[in-house]
A and B are shown apart, each in its own frame.
Chain A
Amino acid sequence: QKEVEQDPGPLSVPEGAIVSLNCTYSNSAFQYFMWYRQYSRKGPELLMYTYSSGNKEDGRFTAQVDKSSKYISLFIRDSQPSDSATYLCAMGAGANNLFFGTGTRLTVIP
């Protein structure tokens, strides 16, 4: 079983839709959780960072962590064509290495 599982999509939504991206994980030691956004032919860039359980909001983006279910989500409200990218979840414990999901490719159609 992989440490981190992520549905690869692809996911296609109309502009203005609410997008939900999800990852599950198996290691209960994970304490910090991140979402990276990767545009085509670019390196991943950090989008959201969350420590432990709970929600974190930044503009149109909300990251949610449910440690009891080992499940994390990223919600995008009022999605825009510029949100079209691959979204990777990542997580880790302490100061050790990160474990990445395989990424979900999102396309927002104007």
Chain B
Amino acid sequence: DADVTQTPRNRITKTGKRIMLECSQTKGHDRMYWYRQDPGLGLRLIYYSFDVKDINKGEISDGYSVSRQAQAKFSLSLESAIPNQTALYFCATSDGGQGTDTQYFGPGTRLTVL
């Protein structure tokens, strides 16, 4: 079984709809992240959480919110989706130990906003 799973894998929605993307992990890591990937722009950090009570904004948090329901679960919501939020979304985890921050990624969710 995959260590980091994301649901759904693909989603098509309309402008103005509320969307939730979910991430679960079995790696036992405290840290979880949400990124979006766009051609030519690479991976950009949306939100991150270092533990269940800790939520931090990343580079591009506007229009997004998150919820850390448990150590293993981290959800990303688009409150009112817009077409420029069409992208590939990745969840990642890390243990943050020993001065490193090696991140392990899920398979991604391809979101299309019409």
Contacts and interface: CB of A to CB of B under 8 A. Distances in A.
Interface of A: 6, 8, 31-32, 34, 36, 41-46, 49, 51, 88, 90, 92, 94-98, 100-103
Given A49-B100, A98-B103, A43 B45 contact: no
Closest 9 CB pairs between A and B? Answer: A43-B105, A102-B42, A100-B43, A44-B105, A95-B96, A43-B107, A92-B101, A43-B108, A100-B42
Contacts of A103: 42
B105 A102 contact: no
Given A8-B40, A103-B42, A98 B101 contact: yes
A42 B41 contact: no
Given A8-B40, A43-B90, A43-B108, A96 B100 contact: no
Contact of A41 (B41, B48, B108): B108
A8 B39 CA distance: 10
B80 interface: no
A31 B105 CA distance: 21
Nearest to A103: B42
A36 B101 CA distance: 13
Interface in B6-59: 33, 40-43, 45, 48, 58
Contact of A46 (B4, B42, B104, B110): B104
Contacts of B110: 41
Given A42-B107, A43-B90, A45-B105, A32 B40 contact: no
Nearest to A46: B102
25 contacts: A6-B42, A8-B40, A31-B99, A32-B99, A34-B102, A43-B4, A43-B90, A43-B105, A43-B106, A43-B107, A44-B43, A44-B90, A88-B42, A88-B43, A92-B100, A92-B101, A94-B99, A95-B99, A95-B100, A96-B101, A97-B58, A98-B103, A101-B42, A102-B40, A102-B42
